[in-house]
Chains A and B, each alone.
Chain A
Amino acid sequence: MKNKNREQSLSDSRELDGSYDPLTDSEEDDFELSTVCHRPESMDKLQEQTKFTKKELQVLYRGFKNECPSGVVNEDNFKNIYSQFFPQGDSSMYAHFLFEAFDSDKNGSVSFEDFVFGLSIILRGTVNDRLNWAFNLYDLNKDGCITKEEMLDIMKSIYDMMGKYTYPTMQDDAPREHVESFFQKMDRNKDGVVTIEEFIESCKKDENIMQSMQLFDNVI
């Protein structure tokens, strides 16, 4: 990956000869951070790795690059973009979880590859892939199982997106109740956590969920 991270190179040079001029270098530092730019891999490679056609990749990249000219999205930008779609509520928490899910290499920014890989799984993947991805989203600490607290966080973030003005009026314990029913459905062995197998199994058994998974076939 051609990652021209000048910040990296600068710190290397500093270590090499120990000549660190705090007066000038610190200014450069600030400057450099803002000009980090990222170039994705070639379209052919991306085409191999994802299930999008060339045209789709083009459209996706153009939209991506337009909003983030530097080639990467950081979390604030991401939250900003996502909040444009939910004007009434507060989508920042959910966007944060999404960001974590998309940022596969955990470097604090979502590059185009991350973006496209994630989209490819959701939009062009098999049902299993999708469910896996969803599980990954819910599992905040990535330990392989969803606890009630994690689920509660997720649920709260989803309900936050609704905002204040809903019908019927939002009760404070609505997320909690929803989590309870979720665990009722998903937690087979009633051990208080949902593992990936339980999750996939329960989802496959649920008609509604299976049907809603079909929605993603025609998004792009």
Chain B
Amino acid sequence: MATGVEAWLPFARAAAIGWMPVASCPMPVAPRDNCRRQDELIVLNVSGRRFQTWRTTLDRYPDTLLGSSEKDFFYNEEAKEYFFDRDPDAFRSILNFYRTGKLHYPRHECISAYDEELIFFGIIPEIIGDCCYEEYKDRKRENMERLQDDQEENKDLKLPNMNFRETMWRAFENPHTSTMALVFYYVTGFFIAISVITNVVETVPCGLTATQKDMPCGERYTVAFFCMDTACVMIFTVEYLLRLFAAPSRYRFMRSVMSIIDVVAILPYYIGLVMTNNEDVSGAFVTLRVFRVFRIFKFSRHSQGLRILGYTLKSCASELGFLLFSLTMAIIIFATVMFYAEKGSSSSKFTSIPASFWYTIVTMTTLGYGDMVPKTIAGKIFGSICSLSGVLVIALPVPVIVSNFSRIYHQNQRADKRRAQKKARLARIHLAKSGSANAFLLSKHNGLLSNLLELTSAEADGQKLAKPSSLYESQHHHLLHCLEKTTAHEFVDEQLYEQSCLEAMLQSFPARKPSVSSHEDAATSCCGRRTRRNTPLTHAGSNQHSPLRELSAIHIQCGDRTSHAPSRSNLNLKPTDDLGRIHCKSGRITTAIVSLPTASSLTHDADKLRGPPGRRPPPSSGQPGGGSIQTTTSSANIVKVSAL
């Protein structure tokens, strides 16, 4: 049933009285409205601003957030209101939608913010009223174009594994990517210019020769020009072949405009090579030379502006078509009129209607060469009308083309500006990310140290080396730690990684430790464990037999296997299998591992820790079960670590 007319249902039911006397069979029983809820006022608190409305108003649209039971999730018991932590300004238009049934788009609002609000409240934007729909669509389209520009720039990012062919293609498409590409770019540009200038200079008369004839330079220095031409064509051919080789889709490349221009530019030369012998077709060969001028279009690869112009013309195809059509119409009309008007006068140049076309075109474009002028009075009158209308007909479609060009051009400008901004933005993001990664590694290190210190000293005095400040951070770090445990690898920073890579190349791999199976067991159980809040470590520290542990077991085993990657917490001793297995049965997780140290080993470990991180700790094998040392690899905050 349509929304908004719910209030009229009682009326519709009352109107059914007209059917009763006519009905021949009894009516069905009416549903009883047992919970006769009086219409009540609902308070909607949106970021402090209170809106109030009737419940039935909201019930009008049951498939939105406010109209369905979904709003119960936001109900605040103490204040007896619904609280939404959203923008109150945008909420106004949303609430008005319920009241009036029409959704309006406030013009000052940002389109993506508004869209988000709509999605949050479960309203589809298609029901925006006609009054605001155009504006909404325009803004949305602009935004999409902007986003598209951003996406296209993402293609510039260097993919880590590009083979030679892809690198070459990228070099061709974006000359800024490497020096070679830039060199290639400039070289081809230079040769295009040379080729064009050669074509032009060829036809200039070069001065008198022995035969007293003014020859064009091309005929005088045939060999020189031929060599130049050959060189250019060779370069172009090589370029074309290289592009063809590097193109990801050769078929599509061959169909593209630029490659067709390339082909057309170099083909005349080859045809000329083949055909020089045959004198009959040399005339045709000469005309082929005209196509050499297409080489100038190769510049469009080098010039953004040219490309924009081409794109504009393509997008204004309909306007251009209209211009052409209306011009043709006008030309035919005026040519006919002029012909008949000038028919009477003698020695008139207007010999036929097609002959008058020339006059009409020259007049309409306000050129006025003067080679054909009307002589009769009627002719002059119509001629003046022709020139006046010419101005109008041409002036009409031009602004459309101009505005299109301007829009596309500005879009490009915006894209360039955004590219520059993006670099700065990416740098900032990178900084933030590395900062966060470093924070994790640092806190791990600190946690480890403070853990050891706690165990050595009875109470943890203020040696809480730079504890992470918030619960959020500690939880985040715990999460990262769990990931480490899951994959049995560790996060390290870049220098360490590079160092370890170097070391790997220099050193041989250590002997593999056995007990892979227990590692796998522990790993699976680690992953499959349920999460639960855990006790603080001090608590855990006290009951060291308690089942808190041991991801470090896996960790250490893996640490052994990958021990060429020195990490701070790699205290390469491993516990026995049964210890690991016992603890895995428990349901609690922490990443804090309690160690049962013996004094000597502990100091040994601590020493190791204080040493330079680059030093590879010596692997040790097969410790007796009871005295096994486990390393403590705790995540950030020792006191409060919450399980995943």
Residues of A within 8 A of B (CB): 55, 59-60, 62-64, 66-67, 81-82, 84-85, 87, 94, 97-98, 115, 118-119, 122-123, 130-131, 133-134, 137-138, 154-155, 158, 178, 181-182, 186, 199, 203, 207-209, 211-213, 215-216, 218-220
Contacts and interface: CB of A to CB of B under 8 A. Distances in A.
Contacts of A60: 7, 10
B14 A122 contact: yes
A84 B27 contact: no
Given A64-B7, A133-B17, A137-B18, A212 B27 contact: yes
12 contacts: A62-B54, A66-B7, A81-B5, A81-B8, A85-B1, A119-B14, A123-B14, A133-B17, A137-B18, A182-B22, A207-B26, A213-B17
A67 B4 contact: yes
B257 interface: no
Contacts of B27: 208, 211-212, 215
A30 B22 CA distance: 43
Given A158-B22, A199-B21, A218-B32, 7 more contacts: A60-B10, A62-B7, A63-B8, A84-B5, A85-B5, A158-B18, A213-B17
Interface string B1-39: 110111111111111111111111111001011000011
Q: What class of interface size applies to chain B in its complex with A?
A: 20 to 34
Contacts of B2: 84
Contact of A212 (B8, B15, B23): B23
A85 B5 CA distance: 9
Nearest to B15: A98
Given A199-B21, A212-B23, A220 B10 contact: yes
Nearest to B24: A181
A119 B7 contact: no
B17 A115 contact: no
Contacts of B38: 55
A134 B2 CA distance: 27
A64 B10 CA distance: 11
Contacts, number: 104
A203 B22 CA distance: 10
Given A208-B23, A212-B26, A212-B27, A98 B10 contact: no
A98 B10 CA distance: 14
Contacts of B21: 131, 134, 138, 182, 186, 199, 203, 209
Interface in B20-77: 20-27, 30, 32-33, 38-39, 54
Contact of B20 (A84, A94, A181, A209): A209
A122 B5 CA distance: 20
* Across the A-B interface, the 8 shortest Cβ-Cβ residue pairs: A63-B7, A84-B2, A212-B27, A122-B14, A212-B20, A208-B26, A85-B12, A219-B13
Contacts of B18: 94, 97-98, 134, 137-138, 154, 158
A65 to B, nearest CB: 9
A58 to B, nearest CB: 8
A202 to B, nearest CB: 8
Contact of B26 (A123, A133, A203, A211): A211
Interface in B448-506: none
Contacts of A131: 21
Given A119-B11, A134-B17, A219-B14, A154 B5 contact: no
Contacts of B26: 207-208, 211-212
A207 B435 CA distance: 86
A85 B10 contact: no
A87 B1 CA distance: 8
Of the candidates B1, B8, B11, B19, the one having the most CB atoms from chain A within 10 angstroms of its own CB is B11
Nearest to B27: A212
Contacts of A220: 10
Nearest to B22: A182
A118 B24 CA distance: 25
Of the candidates A63, A119, A133, the one having the most CB atoms from chain B within 10 angstroms of its own CB is A63
Given A67-B5, A85-B5, A211-B27, A219 B10 contact: yes
Contacts of A67: 4-5, 7-8
Contact of A218 (B9, B12, B25, B33): B33
Given A66-B4, A131-B21, A82 B15 contact: yes
A208 B25 contact: yes
Nearest to A181: B24
Nearest to A211: B26
Of the candidates B18, B21, B25, the one having the most CB atoms from chain A within 10 angstroms of its own CB is B21
Nearest to A97: B18
A183 to B, nearest CB: 11
Nearest to A80: B5
Nearest to B8: A81
Contact of B9 (A85, A94, A119, A178): A85
Contacts of A133: 17
Nearest to B9: A85
A119 B1 contact: no
A143 B20 CA distance: 22
A87 B20 CA distance: 21
A62 B381 CA distance: 72
A166 to B, nearest CB: 15
Contacts of B22: 154-155, 158, 178, 182
A62 B8 CA distance: 10
A76 to B, nearest CB: 15
A213 B20 contact: yes
Contacts of A155: 22
A137 B20 CA distance: 12
Contact of B10 (A81, A119, A158): A119
A208 B24 CA distance: 8
B174 to A, nearest CB: 58
A218 B13 CA distance: 10
A133 B18 CA distance: 9
Contacts of A186: 21
